[in-house]
Amino acid sequence: MATYQEFIQQNEDRDGVRFSWNVWPSSRLEAAKMVVPLSCLFTPLKERPDLPPVQYEPVLCSRPTCKAVLNPLCQVDYRAKLWACNFCFQRNHFPPAYAGISDINQPAELMPQFSTIEYIVQNGPQTPLIFLYVVDTCLEEEDLQALKESLQMSLSLLSPNALVGLITFGRMVQVHELSCEGISKSYVFRGTKDLSGKQIQEMLGLTKPAAPVQQGRPAQPQDHSVSSRFLQPVHKIDMNLTDLLGELQRDPWPVPQGKRPLRSTGIALSIAVGLLEGTFPNTGARIMLFTGGPPTQGPGMVVGDELKTPIRSWHDIEKDNARYLKKATKYYDALANRSAVNGHCIDIYAFALDQTGLLEMKCCSNLTGGHIVMGDSFNTSLFKQTYQRVFTKDYNGEFQMAFGGELEVKTSRELKISGAIGPCVSLNVKGPCVSENVRLGGTSQWKICGINPFTTLGMYFEVVNQHNAPVPQGGRGAIQFITQYQHSSTQKRIRVTTIARNWADAQSQIQHIEAAFDQEAAAVLMARLGVCRAQSEEGPDVLRWLDRQLIRLCQKFGQFHKDDPNSFRLSESFSLYPQFMFHLRRSPFLQVFNNSPDESSYYRHHFVRQDLTQSLIMIQPVLYSYSFYGPPEPVLLDSSSILPDKILLMDTFFQLVIYHGETIAQWRKAGYQEMAEYENFKQLLQAPLDDAQEILQTRFPMPRYIDTEHGGSQARFLLSKVNPSQTHNNLYAWGQETGAPILTDDVSLQVFMDHLKKLAVSSAL
């Protein structure tokens, strides 16, 4: 088993892929019986400090319906200078530049260690990156001041050639003209009237008689003097924009008692999208929306201005009592799609004590690959530091963020691509590799407007081989991922990853298939399917579906005697999977209870874009225990791990909880850490803080930080996550009293497993 773990890890490190199955069942029928679909988590721009990009264009297969990139799986005839495409078997000639290659002088893209390779392609002018700030002015004074300062600070983090623009909104929407001289001017729009992109461009004076842009060719804005009134390079405009930001006032319209401020977020976003659509289509841009409350006016409004009408809750939605939900969602969906077509991503920074309408607006970020960050106030470290991290640089000193990603997938003919789940939109490109089914299906190409080294897509495949077709001897299936994108240095790059896995006949080689199961990847991939279903199905139905899949998996791969639950065993490669499913069922991704619609949207947004390790942390938080008795160690996420003389560190991705056991808390209160002879106690208290620090310093978004103790109200964050093996119901059934009982009627992992075993072995099913 160690070798498969290593194999899986090596592949993730090199190619950014984690497959649910690493040996593939060779027929459609058998693959369906596997329960977990053949699928993978793929990180297109995985950080590879050891992979320098090559400075030439990739060599493509000449068959027009194929166009796969030359890769290590291709057969090569060095004498005849021919190569055979491993996807369509077309024989191709090498281009003239490859005349000197031989089997001892191979180009990089043919070497096995370059299964992932990056090309820098030089065509077209290099357009600068664009950052358009869209700022809500209906904020408390302190909040607005903190936001202004963060925006001013961000000007120092941008590169000098980046273009910036500013739109502010409240009751009206103002598009600010950026100029270096004279009085600052702005165009004011009513916050209630919806305008088309064309109308917006006309009103801003951006349209002029020009040659029509050819379909399919990226528009080249020839003359930027028109748009430069609103979008200027940082190096020219930084001083004036800093002053302009500094002078921003709260929205001047008075807010009567019992009312919310009139906030025209919908129009503001529409103008931002229209402005960029007309001036810089098909080039990397971020629209950054900063909002401190829900949209209350105009198209896209989420709640009225009367405070006595609260913003929709899950209860309201279930009872079909959310008046603005459908219309607002449709409105933002249309904006999101327009933005995605133009290659622009939309970020939402929503900081308020109440909901801000993330449920309706989430598609703006989900479809474009933009960020959503949620918090209580702009005047917090969570906002300030998370926002700084948008501008994080890589090991080469360049921004990690990248733009305009277009991912194309090619498969060998025994496979088809069913769909993808992640921060992307379909490009609706049909082809030989495309099958139906799953979200964002019906295509082999997707667009990810905003992409970074951690963006991870879930890709789902279908085996199409017929059941009685023989397995090619030693045959392997192959998949190629081709990602074109605009690097933050504005270079156009292409990253190509080509992988292969063995086929196996499920009838005779099931043990090989089993041994190559990646339960961690499978858990995350199934979870993404579940989250996807939860968008359109009722909660209990999704859980029933998840449970059914788990039971079927156990029936297929468990070893047991019929109707004898005690005989049930799972091999090591499946041993963690039921536990993942148990925690997934209780997670905020599938349980909306106790979360607002905005919160659920927020958690789901991050869940469907993170890499495997972070996604697993979200499903089943990590728990580490610190004590005097040994070094820090991982412990069961279970109530029995909560002990009086231990400190626990729990990471749920969104929160970092440091919990001090009862005795530790009492010692801390008594002040032993201040006394010289109890220096080791001081160190013990410090240890989890140090370990938490690394996470706090790097994670995006920054997690909440909870320092709590036995009996503390914040301890609920820990108590609600641990498996409640000990509750008020079964406390006195235990022989030995260890751990803290959890006051819940939730099913424990033990009960869950008992039921699972009963159902799996039952001959009735």
Residue in this structure with the two tokens 């976003």, named with its chain if needed = 269
In the complex with other proteins, the residue whose CB is nearer, 106 or 613, is 613
Rounded Cα distance between 503 and 20, Å, is 14
In the complex with other proteins, the residue whose CB is nearer, 360 or 598, is 598
The dihedral through the CA atoms of 599, 605, 606, 607 has a sign that is: positive
Please report, in angstroms and rounded to a whole number, the separation of the first and last CA atoms in the chain.
31
Q: How far is the CB of 71 from other proteins (least distance, A)?
A: 27
Q: How far is the CB of 487 from other proteins (least distance, A)?
A: 18
Rounded Cα distance between 154 and 491, Å, is 23
Contact set for other proteins, span 702-731 (CB under 8 A)? 702-706, 714, 725
- 3 state DSSP class of 741: coil
In the complex with other proteins, the residue whose CB is nearer, 15 or 651, is 651
Contact set for other proteins, span 662-681 (CB under 8 A)? 662-663, 666-667, 670, 672, 677-678, 680-681
Q: How far is the CB of 238 from other proteins (least distance, A)?
A: 5
In the complex with other proteins, the residue whose CB is nearer, 225 or 566, is 566
In the complex with other proteins, the residue whose CB is nearer, 389 or 552, is 389
Q: How far is the CB of 666 from other proteins (least distance, A)?
A: 5
Identify whether the C-beta of residue 146 lies closer than 8 Å to the C-beta of residue 384.
yes
141, 223, 690, 745: residue in contact with other proteins (rule CB under 8 A) = 690
Q: Which amino acid is at 552?
A: R
Identify whether the C-beta of residue 287 lies closer than 8 Å to the C-beta of residue 132.
yes
Contact set for other proteins, span 387-406 (CB under 8 A)? 388-389, 392-393, 395
Q: How far is the CB of 414 from other proteins (least distance, A)?
A: 34
- Binding part of the chain for other proteins, among 104-112, 232-240, 261-269, 595-603 by CB under 8 A, reads 232-240
In the complex with other proteins, the residue whose CB is nearer, 36 or 649, is 649
- Binding part of the chain for other proteins, among 88-96, 442-450, 501-509, 686-694 by CB under 8 A, reads 686-694
Q: How far is the CB of 359 from other proteins (least distance, A)?
A: 21
Looking at the DSSP assignment, which residues form a beta bridge with residue 416? 462
- Binding part of the chain for other proteins, among 21-29, 73-81, 185-193, 699-707 by CB under 8 A, reads 699-707
Q: Which tokens go with 228?
A: 């430069």
- 3 state DSSP class of 105: strand
Q: Which amino acid is at 583?
A: H
Rounded Cα distance between 153 and 384, Å, is 10
* Residue 744 interacts with other proteins (CB under 8 A): yes or no: no
Nearest residue to 173 via CA among 221, 132, 112, 126: 132
Q: How far is the CB of 385 from other proteins (least distance, A)?
A: 6
Contact set for other proteins, span 145-164 (CB under 8 A)? 148-150, 152-153, 155-157, 160
Burial of residue 47 (number of CB atoms within 10 Å: 0-12, 13-18, 19+): middle
Rounded Cα distance between 591 and 534, Å, is 9
Contact set for other proteins, span 33-72 (CB under 8 A)? 47, 49
Rounded Cα distance between 487 and 413, Å, is 32
Contact set for other proteins, span 290-349 (CB under 8 A)? none
113, 249, 697, 729: residue in contact with other proteins (rule CB under 8 A) = 697
Q: Which tokens go with 582?
A: 């148990």
**For the stretch 667-680, what's the b/e string if a residue is b when 16 or more beta carbons lie within 10 angstroms of its beta carbon?**
bbeeebbeeeeeee
In the complex with other proteins, the residue whose CB is nearer, 392 or 509, is 392
Q: How far is the CB of 584 from other proteins (least distance, A)?
A: 14
In the complex with other proteins, the residue whose CB is nearer, 552 or 704, is 704
CA 247 to chain centre: 36
Greatest extent of the chain over all pairs of C-alpha atoms, in Å: 86
Q: How far is the CB of 526 from other proteins (least distance, A)?
A: 17
* Residue 354 interacts with other proteins (CB under 8 A): yes or no: no
Burial of residue 493 (number of CB atoms within 10 Å: 0-12, 13-18, 19+): middle
- Binding part of the chain for other proteins, among 64-72, 220-228, 602-610, 688-696 by CB under 8 A, reads 688-696
Contacts of 223 (CB under 8 A, 6+ apart): none
Identify whether the C-beta of residue 485 lies closer than 8 Å to the C-beta of residue 405.
yes
Rounded Cα distance between 692 and 417, Å, is 40
Q: How far is the CB of 58 from other proteins (least distance, A)?
A: 28
In the complex with other proteins, the residue whose CB is nearer, 94 or 624, is 624
Q: Which tokens go with 699?
A: 């994670």
Contact set for other proteins, span 494-533 (CB under 8 A)? none
In the complex with other proteins, the residue whose CB is nearer, 175 or 749, is 749
Q: Which amino acid is at 380?
A: T
Contacts of 271 (CB under 8 A, 6+ apart): 167, 173, 175, 189, 195, 200
Per DSSP (E only), the strands in 137-171 are 163-169
Contact set for other proteins, span 600-629 (CB under 8 A)? 613, 616-617, 620, 622, 624-625, 628-629
Cα 4 to Cα 10, 73, 474, 491: the distances in Å are 10, 21, 18, 38
In the complex with other proteins, the residue whose CB is nearer, 132 or 749, is 749
Cβ neighbour number for residue 239 with a 10 Å cutoff? 10
In the complex with other proteins, the residue whose CB is nearer, 28 or 704, is 704
Rounded Cα distance between 491 and 139, Å, is 39
Contact set for other proteins, span 172-211 (CB under 8 A)? 180-181
Q: How far is the CB of 225 from other proteins (least distance, A)?
A: 18
Contact set for other proteins, span 544-583 (CB under 8 A)? 566, 568-570, 575-576, 578-579
Provide the mask over 626-645, with x wherever binding to other proteins is found by CB under 8 A and - wherever it is not.
--xxxxxxxxxxx-xx-xxx
Q: Which tokens go with 308?
A: 């006595």
Q: How far is the CB of 616 from other proteins (least distance, A)?
A: 8
* Residue 753 interacts with other proteins (CB under 8 A): yes or no: yes
* Residue 593 interacts with other proteins (CB under 8 A): yes or no: no
Contact set for other proteins, span 234-253 (CB under 8 A)? 235, 238-239, 242, 246
In the complex with other proteins, the residue whose CB is nearer, 306 or 737, is 737
In the complex with other proteins, the residue whose CB is nearer, 366 or 620, is 620
Q: How far is the CB of 636 from other proteins (least distance, A)?
A: 5
Identify whether the C-beta of residue 472 lies closer than 8 Å to the C-beta of residue 627.
no
Contact set for other proteins, span 401-460 (CB under 8 A)? none
Burial of residue 169 (number of CB atoms within 10 Å: 0-12, 13-18, 19+): buried
25, 191, 300, 375: residue in contact with other proteins (rule CB under 8 A) = 375
Q: Which tokens go with 129?
A: 């990156």
Q: How far is the CB of 724 from other proteins (least distance, A)?
A: 12
* Residue 738 interacts with other proteins (CB under 8 A): yes or no: yes
- Binding part of the chain for other proteins, among 62-70, 286-294, 321-329, 370-378 by CB under 8 A, reads 370-378
* Residue 683 interacts with other proteins (CB under 8 A): yes or no: yes
In the complex with other proteins, the residue whose CB is nearer, 464 or 622, is 622
Q: How far is the CB of 252 from other proteins (least distance, A)?
A: 23
**For the stretch 22-40, what's the b/e string if a residue is b when 16 or more beta carbons lie within 10 angstroms of its beta carbon?**
bbbbbbbebbeebbbbbbb
Nearest residue to 277 via CA among 193, 207, 350: 207
Tell me, by CB under 8 A, how many residues bind other proteins.
Answer: 107
- Binding part of the chain for other proteins, among 331-339, 477-485, 535-543, 732-740 by CB under 8 A, reads 732-740
Secondary structure element (H or E) that encloses residue 327, with its range:
helix 325-341
Q: How far is the CB of 352 from other proteins (least distance, A)?
A: 11
Secondary structure element (H or E) that encloses residue 744, with its range:
none
Residue in this structure with the two tokens 């202004």, named with its chain if needed = 148
Contacts of 608 (CB under 8 A, 6+ apart): 366, 421, 422, 423, 458, 528, 531, 532
